[in-house]
């Protein structure tokens, strides 16, 4: 079974630009969660989608948004990029029934110049 | 505020040593505790614990949860250089839906 696939693997952007990251979950998984990982803050929850609906959102500004498609693939968008948005963005999928382990993709490394 | 605290932050051992990693938590609406291993890329799922006192084991790794004292430990016996990684503890909670709160991780280095 293929794992969670995230694209692109690396991105370099400049301040003020916007970016879209993509995540394809494990086949059959309907829940997709996004996390931001930085050296200072560790892994922080961004949001979770299930059946095309955002069920939960972390404490991030409105510049961070996402969506999920009918095939469970998800995208995350960050607008008006800031230097502090430089991070590893990880996507995780699960069956979504609650108390199911989340399985992570390799992440997208975003660098803001 | 929900929080997960891991200790030690880093650890250097020699091959063959046994290590114990600690994870304590203070959260509302606890559902589960998970351990992940992160090398250069994706955190890899190790264990999920929901009940107190029941040890989960996989090869040289084992873990147990104490829901009364709000902590978990991850043991690695006969360590190998391939065990070098960051070990992440995460607690699953439910507010509007299930989500994970992560600790800052323990960086383990196993020297030959």
Q: Which tens digits make up the pLDDT trace of B29-62?
A: 899 999 999 998 889 999 999 989 899 999 999 9
Instruction: Quote the CA–CA distance of A47 and A60 in Å, as a whole number.
Output: 9
Q: Is A60 on the interface with B (CB under 8 A)?
A: no
Q: Is B54 on the interface with A (CB under 8 A)?
A: no
Q: Among all residues of chain A, which has the CA nearest to that of B42?
A: A106
Contact in structure between B48 and B33 (CB atoms under 8 Å): yes
CA B108 to chain centre: 12
Q: Is B95 on the interface with A (CB under 8 A)?
A: yes
Q: Look-up: residue for tokens 């997208």?
A: A108
Instruction: Quote the CA–CA distance of A90 and A88 in Å, as a whole number.
Output: 6
Q: Among all residues of chain B, which has the CA nearest to that of A40?
A: B104
Q: Is B58 on the interface with A (CB under 8 A)?
A: no
Instruction: Quote the CA–CA distance of B26 and A46 in Å, as a whole number.
Output: 20
DSSP state of A21: E
CA distance A84 to chain B (A): 18
Condensed to tens digits (0 to 9), the pLDDT of residues B49-100 reads 998 989 999 999 999 999 999 999 999 999 999 999 999 999 999 888 888 9
Write down the pLDDT at residue A1: 67
Phi and psi for A85 in degrees, rounded to 5?
Answer: -85, -5
Indicate yes or no: CB of B98 within 8 angstroms of CB of A99: yes
Cα separations (Å) of A84 from A69, A78, A111, B6, B77?
Answer: 28, 12, 9, 25, 39
With a CB cutoff of 8 Å and minimum separation 6, the contacts of B61 are B46, B47, B74, B75, B76
- Average pLDDT (B17-22) is 98
Q: What is the mean pLDDT of chain A?
A: 94
Name the residue among A42, A44, A48, A41 with its Cα closest to residue A23.
A48
Write down the pLDDT at residue B95: 82
The parts of chain A modelled with pLDDT lower than 50 are: none
Q: Is A108 on the interface with B (CB under 8 A)?
A: no
């Amino acid at each position: 079974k293929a794992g969670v696939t995230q694209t692109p693997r690396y991105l370099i952007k400049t301040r003020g630009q916007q970016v879209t990251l993509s995540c394809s979950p494990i086949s059959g998984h309907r829940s997709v969660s996004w996390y931001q990982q930085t050296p200072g803050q560790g892994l922080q929850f961004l949001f979770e989608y299930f059946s095309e609906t955002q069920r939960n959102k972390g404490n991030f500004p409105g510049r961070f948004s996402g969506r999920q498609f009918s095939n469970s693939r998800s995208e995350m968008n960050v607008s008006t990029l800031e230097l502090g948005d430089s991070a590893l963005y990880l996507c995780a999928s699960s069956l979504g029934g609650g108390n199911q382990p989340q399985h992570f993709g390799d992440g997208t490394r975003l660098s803001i110049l | 505020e929900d929080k997960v605290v891991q200790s030690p932050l880093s650890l250097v051992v020699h091959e063959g040593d046994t290590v114990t990693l600690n994870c304590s938590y203070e959260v509302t609406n606890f559902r589960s505790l998970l351990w992940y291993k992160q090398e250069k890329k994706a955190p890899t799922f190790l264990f999920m614990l929901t009940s107190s006192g029941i040890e989960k084991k996989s090869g040289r790794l084992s873990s147990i949860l104490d829901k009364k004292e709000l902590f978990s430990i991850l043991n690695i016996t006969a360590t190998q250089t391939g065990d070098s990684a960051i070990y992440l503890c995460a607690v699953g909670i439910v507010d509007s839906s299930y989500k994970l709160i992560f600790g800052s991780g323990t960086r383990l280095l196993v020297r030959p």
